[in-house]
Chain A
C-alpha cells in the first residue's frame, strides 16, 4: 500500500500517468467503507481533497461548473446552485445524512458509480457533462455516455473527473420532479429514484427528460419513454405503451432492499404522478 499526496494538480496528472492500480481519495465516504469491509485491499491511495483546482462552484458564460471534490453540503448551500438549478438544491436535501453531506463529494458519487448513486439521475435529467482530464488533455463527456457497465466508465486509468458542467438554463421553463423511494428519509439507499423535467405548452408535453436510479446496472435516461411521451397531451398517452417502453429500458433486480416487481411498479407510478402534476 502506497499513500501519495500530490503537490499540485500537475503533479497529480504526472502521478496517475505512472501508477497502474490506484484509488483517488477525496471525501473518503465510500472508499473507507470498502477498505473496512475488505472489498479494497492494500490500495495505492492518491489523496486529492486538498487540491483547490478541483473544488468550488463557479459560473462561466452559459454554464455552471462544479469542481469534482466539492462537497454536497457546499452544493446544497451554494447561492449559484439555488438560483440557477434549484432542482439540484432541493433534491439533494435528503442525500445520505447531514454528516455525510459535509464529507461526500459530487465527483466521488459519480466515479464510485453505484447504481443507486443519488446525484446521477438528477444530473442525467439536466443533461450534465463531465470534464475529464489527464496529463495531456481534457475532454467533455455527457454523463449519459459516461457509464458502460456496472461500476464501469469510459475513463482511462490516467484520467480523472475534474468538473461537472450543467447549463445555466438547464431547467428554465421546465417543471421539475424528483423522488427517491427508500426505507426512511435519511441514510437510505434508494429502492427507486427518479428525476424528471417537463415542458408543457397548451397541455401538450413539448419536452420531457426522465432519469432513473437503482433500476439498472447504472443510472440511466429513459429515452424511449421520453420519445413516446413527447408531443402528446396527457389524454393521448397510453400507459400500456409507457409500460412497454419502460420494460425495454429498465432491468430491475431483487435484492435485500426490494424486489424487482415492486421497483418496476413504483417506477411506472412515479412517471404517472409526474405527468399528472
Chain B
C-alpha cells in the first residue's frame, strides 16, 4: 500500500505493508536509526517520535497511522533551534549515560519544553514518565530539562 506522510518536514511516499510498525519503517525504510526498540510494547519509550506534534511510541503504531500526518524523529528535532538548546542542556548536565534511552527522552523533553516549558519538577517528571532509563540516571535528566526550561524562556 502507498503511504504518504511528512517526515522531518519533508513529504515522503513509500510502498509498504500498512501494518509494518512505524518504528521499523523509520529504521529500515528511511535509515533513521535514532528511535530504538527496547521493550517493543510501548512501555519504555526508547522509540518515541512525534506524530502530528505529539509524542508517541512508534513500536506499537503501524505505518498506516502515519498516513497524511507529520512525523518528527530525533534526527529532525535535533536540528531545530530548540532541539539544539535541549541537546546542549543534556550535554552540560552529563545526563546521557549509555545513550540507548536518550533519543526517547530527548523527544519527550522537546515536547514538554515546547508546549509547556514551566520549570516545575513534578510536571517534568510526569511528562517524562513514559520513558525509562535503565542506567537509572533520572536526576540528571530532570536537571537538564529544568535547565532547558530556564534557557528557553
Interface residues of A (CB under 8 A from B): 1, 3, 5, 25, 28-29, 32-33, 35-36, 45, 47, 49-50, 73, 93, 96-100, 102-103, 185-187
B56 in contact with A32 (CB, 8 Å): no
Given contacts A33-B41, A100-B130, A103-B51, 14 further A-B contacts (CB under 8 A): A1-B19, A3-B1, A5-B1, A25-B62, A28-B60, A28-B62, A28-B65, A36-B41, A49-B65, A93-B126, A97-B45, A103-B42, A103-B60, A185-B129
B102 CB to nearest A CB, Å: 15
A3 in contact with B19 (CB, 8 Å): yes
Interface residues of B (CB under 8 A from A): 1, 17-19, 21, 40-43, 45, 48, 51, 54-57, 59-62, 64-65, 67-68, 108, 126-127, 129-131
CA distance A73 to B62 in the complex (A): 19
A33 in contact with B62 (CB, 8 Å): no
- B62 proximity list for chain A (CB < 8 A): 25, 28, 32
A32 in contact with B61 (CB, 8 Å): yes
Known A-B contacts A28-B61, A73-B54; the reply to A99 vs B130 at CB < 8 A is: yes
A254 CB to nearest B CB, Å: 23
Known A-B contacts A49-B65, A103-B60, A187-B130; the reply to A98 vs B42 at CB < 8 A is: no
CA distance A102 to B48 in the complex (A): 11
- B18 proximity list for chain A (CB < 8 A): 3, 5, 47
A122 CB to nearest B CB, Å: 19
B60 in contact with A187 (CB, 8 Å): no
CA distance A186 to B108 in the complex (A): 15
Known A-B contacts A3-B18, A187-B129; the reply to A100 vs B40 at CB < 8 A is: no
- Which residue of chain B lies nearest to A45 when distances are taken between CB atoms in the complex? B19
CA distance A49 to B48 in the complex (A): 20
- A1 proximity list for chain B (CB < 8 A): 19
A97 in contact with B61 (CB, 8 Å): no
B61 in contact with A103 (CB, 8 Å): yes
CA distance A51 to B68 in the complex (A): 13
Contact among A32, A45, A49 for B60, CB-based, below 8 A: A32
- B19 proximity list for chain A (CB < 8 A): 1, 3, 35, 45
A22 CB to nearest B CB, Å: 14
B61 in contact with A98 (CB, 8 Å): no
- B40 proximity list for chain A (CB < 8 A): 36
- A50 proximity list for chain B (CB < 8 A): 67-68
Q: Point out which of A32, A36, A100, A185 has the most chain B C-beta atoms below 10 A from its C-beta.
A: A32
Contact among A45, A47, A103, A187 for B56, CB-based, below 8 A: A103
8 contacts between A and B (CB under 8 A): A1-B19, A3-B1, A3-B64, A5-B64, A28-B61, A28-B62, A32-B21, A96-B130
Q: Point out which of A35, A36, A73, A100 has the most chain B C-beta atoms below 10 A from its C-beta.
A: A100
- Which residue of chain B lies nearest to A100 when distances are taken between CB atoms in the complex? B42
- Which residue of chain B lies nearest to A31 when distances are taken between CB atoms in the complex? B60
CA distance A36 to B127 in the complex (A): 27
CA distance A7 to B57 in the complex (A): 27
CA distance A99 to B64 in the complex (A): 18
B55 in contact with A99 (CB, 8 Å): yes
A99 in contact with B65 (CB, 8 Å): no
CA distance A97 to B65 in the complex (A): 19
CA distance A49 to B66 in the complex (A): 11
Known A-B contacts A3-B1, A3-B19, A73-B54; the reply to A97 vs B60 at CB < 8 A is: no
Known A-B contacts A98-B108, A98-B130; the reply to A47 vs B41 at CB < 8 A is: no
A102 CB to nearest B CB, Å: 5
Contact among A28, A35, A186 for B129, CB-based, below 8 A: A186
- Which residue of chain A lies nearest to B50 when distances are taken between CB atoms in the complex? A102
Q: Point out which of B48, B57, B108 has the most chain A C-beta atoms below 10 A from its C-beta.
A: B57
A99 in contact with B41 (CB, 8 Å): no
- B41 proximity list for chain A (CB < 8 A): 33, 36
CA distance A35 to B40 in the complex (A): 11
- B65 proximity list for chain A (CB < 8 A): 28, 49, 103
